[in-house]
Structure 1
């Protein structure tokens, strides 16, 4: 089977390779983040009052896996869990000032990697790719 003829395999492997490329640049820049950590920090920065369950639904992972990642981020002082005044079981996730600073640095690195990867592609090719990727994601 040719990888290019199996769209799901191609997309999966490309996503993994992208994550590894970004992680390598994080390491080279002295940033101790995995690509998954970066994704979580990005989501938390855009959604100011996410609870753990909502984050699990967004990333399509079970709650226990999300809790482990949040635990790591909390241990690095990048995220904090704040209790809900109405429901003590709910924990709102917030970026700490250190988390916000780390995310800004990481976003610049990720942008550099993405710019490099897009070299040689036209704007129309990128637009078409985004349209196809969104179509596939929305069908899931």
Structure 2
């Protein structure tokens, strides 16, 4: 059975390990800042900040997250008092989501912390290597431009 394949040379394994590292760094920085957010929750808040009045499906699309489970993320953020939902003025069946003043204040305070964590996530790479890595990762995802959802 099998050959001498080095798992460390398999893209899926390396990507999973980098994701684990990214989540650990995010969590450590969040804890140090006294913030109770996951990377996905942060990305959702940031998406709402960038485009107030989105519905859940649009938030899921904006952060490349599963539509079936974004509702739980929004529920938790609403329970924390960071988001509010209201009936859409144009579609009574839809709920639009907005940051609360508390959510806005948290993002203002926490966004620089998350931006600072990026240096630690790719800490072994110099600036040029980071840019090349991010460009190649976006290309592997089929994205030519910047991906604003990468939060952590």
Q: TM-score, normalised by structure 2?
A: 0.80
Deviation at 1:12, TM superposition (A): 2.5
The count of aligned residue pairs is: 138
2:40 aligned residue (27, 36, 41): 36
Residue matched to 1:62: 67
Written as runs of structure 1 = structure 2, the 5 A alignment for 1:105-116 is 105-116=109-120
Higher mean displacement: 73-82 or 110-119? 110-119
- Does residue 8 in structure 1 map to residue 12 in structure 2? yes
- Does residue 131 in structure 1 map to residue 129 in structure 2? no
Ranges in structure 2 where 5+ consecutive residues have no aligned partner: 144-152
Post-superposition CA distance 1:31-56 (Å, at most 9, x none)? 11122211111111112231111122
Post-superposition CA distance 1:87-122 (Å, at most 9, x none)? 111111111111011112221211222223444533
CA RMSD of aligned residues (A): 1.9
Residue matched to 1:47: 51
Ranges in structure 1 where 5+ consecutive residues have no aligned partner: none
Kept after mapping to 1: 8 A contact 2:21/2:121: no
Q: TM-score, normalised by structure 1?
A: 0.86
SS of equivalent residue, structure 2 residue 59 = helix
2:96 aligned residue (92, 107, 113): 92
Structure 1 moving runs of 4+ over 4 Å: none
More helix by share: 1
